[in-house]
Structure 1
């Protein structure tokens, strides 16, 4: 979205709240109005930090509780705008039904209604922001994949995404994620972008914990848009020194100990690269030389590329959407991501898993009925699956 258009949003929010919420309530004291102007100012400042500088309050080393208060104010003002919009729609419908445009179902001048809407906005925001900072839950997926050999049936992949390690991320928090991944004894760990929000010099001690991720065939990743905001080339060098291999429009053959191909692993860069004079995403380049006799797994930070991979990919892993934030809003997020916001999707032979994010981006810390996740994906061979079925075993599916 154009930066100029985004920069107008906080101004529109201020006008919307003032003329449709504050001004009609004449009984509000001057002090109350002044307080609201302060809240709207904090909300606008938080928005402009990200719009113009791709920064959040977490960059400045302030305590987590203070960051959460700022986020609560930011989202409360956004929720209040939604509630004002709902009130407008309901009043309009009421006028139509009554055929009288001088009456309202919910009176804009009502002090009680104004206080209720304000309290509800802050409550919803507090719940949503708090949900963003809870530890991730485990989400399991198990399904068959054509071309996977019987010997490799049961191959376990752990997907992490949108870690957004920033100034308020703690070592214990990241250590807990790493330990929970290692407990799974994965064959592959795949990270689908947005590792960091900040500089290597500021976040090195925390991000180094990711180097303890342990898997049979290694740890691989693709960049997200936030890597480019945070000096991607320096982060790329840092992570690859620690053993996390990035796939930038290329692929590798994952081989077993006998050097047999297990699967193709492909990855692309993010479209944000264009704005930083770096390599733009290319599916064509990423697929060059793949072994068509084994399964192909594709990594893309954004789900929208999955639509172009239906004929090539058996499994595509993505992130970026943060689960769509909450029911209802996820529909709008889906419009920008080919309708995919979280969970498992099937596009022909291709299965697509969109992570809801393993942590939270403090620029958009808002979650309702949408927990952070660590995805555990078990791939079965069709032949092994048939053998199990013939012995009255069943395979567990969870999407």
Structure 2
């Protein structure tokens, strides 16, 4: 009788232990393991307006660092080293350096990004745009971080790279949700001839930018890929202006759009949606 009682206890307790172990393992995975498992994604794109002198040009895109108590300077430095290992010609950063919280200020963590970001190595440097978290936290602090890091902010402005007689234009539009985006101003300053790459935090802006006919590639972030890489469920975590183009490569009119899954997360969890560094190799027609 005693043996039967012990067996009955095992039958009842073991499933509970197994379930608890599964839940604990899942919690550790989504909070600790996958958020640190960075994927380097390689994308090759043919841009018909790209000059032959820029054939093979490499751009490393990172996005959504979301500096906080988890995304520390040491962690960012590791990401910077991984970016540098890709040997890009240019680094493009598509917003959300800071993390906004309704309950406590986290902007102090953004200032700690200066030291690691200054160690980015690319012949043509690094360019960036701000994101909605940057504006909701403290845009002046974020702009100071970029300036101190040697990162050029494209604030509705254009920067042109030259190789021989060929030109590659880099354009940035301010955050669409919280900033002061001015696509018309950027278009007025955009020279004729050559390929143009647009940086804007929110990917769904692509419908408007593609309609101008002036951009060959738009780089965006914002969505974190939904953080939950399961059909239908991921849309529960997609912010506004990212639900149409949440992750990966799209063709919008005559323009390519790439939405990077980001490196940070808010809130911090990921499942089947690894953080991402994207490396583009541009090809001329």
SS of the equivalent of 1:163 reads coil
Equivalent in 204, 207, 216 of residue 111 of structure 2: 204
Deviation at 1:206? 4.2
Deviations 1:296-346 (A, max 9, x none): 100111111011122221100000111112212234538852521111111
Paired position in structure 2 for 1:318: 220
In structure 1, what is the Cα distance between the partners aligned to 2:268 and 2:34?
A: 6
The more displaced of 191-200 and 153-162 is 191-200
1 or 2 for the larger relative contact order (CA 8 Å, sep ≥6)?
Answer: 2
Q: Measured at CA, do residues 272 and 117 of structure 1 come closer, stay the same or move farther in structure 2, by a change above 3 Å?
A: farther
Alignment of structure 1 residues 322-333 onto 2, 5 Å: 322-326=224-228, 327-328=230-231, 329-332=233-236, 333=238
Distance 1:184 1:150 in 2: 22
Which structure 2 residues correspond to residues 273-312 of structure 1 after superposition, within 5 A? 273=178, 279-310=179-210, 311-312=213-214
Query: Which has a greater percent of helix?
Result: 1
What corresponds to 2:253 in structure 1? 348
Task: State whether residues 131 and 366 of structure 1, in contact with CA within 8 Å, keep that contact through their aligned partners in structure 2.
Answer: no
Distance 1:114 1:309 in 2: 54
Paired residue total? 262
Distance 1:153 1:116 in 2: 55
Q: Equivalent residue for 2:94?
A: 192
Structure 2, unaligned runs of 5 or more: 1-13, 100-105
TM-aligned CA deviation for residue 131 of structure 1: 3.9
Q: How far off is 1:243 after superposition? A: 1.0
Q: Does 1:162 align with 2:70?
A: no
Give the Å deviation of 1:114.
10
The answer to whether the 8 A contact 1:269-1:280 is kept is yes
Distance 2:209 2:203 in 1: 11
Structure (1 or 2) with the greater strand fraction: 2
- Aligned-CA RMSD value: 2.6
2:280 aligned with 1:377: yes
In 1, distance between residues paired with 2:158 and 2:166? 13
Q: Does the Cα contact within 8 Å between 2:38 and 2:277 map onto a contact in 1? A: yes
Instruction: Quote the Cα distance in structure 1 between the aligned partners of 2:226 and 2:84.
Output: 28
Unaligned runs of 5+ in 1: 1-111, 274-278, 383-399
Q: Secondary structure at the match of 2:45?
A: strand
Whether 1:252 aligns to 2:252 is no
| Cα separation, partners in 2 of 1:225 and 1:114, compared to 1, 3 Å | farther
Q: Look at both structures and tell me which one has the larger radius of gyration over its CA atoms.
A: 1
Shift of 1:211: 1.0
CA distance in 1 between partners of 2:114 and 2:149 (Å): 10
Q: Tell me how far apart the structure 1 counterparts of residues 241 and 143 of structure 2 sit (CA, whole Å).
A: 27
Deviation string, structure 1 residues 157-191 (Cα, Å, up to 9, x no partner): 00000111212333332222111212222111000
- The answer for the alignment partner of 1:221 in structure 2 is 128
SS at match of 2:262: coil
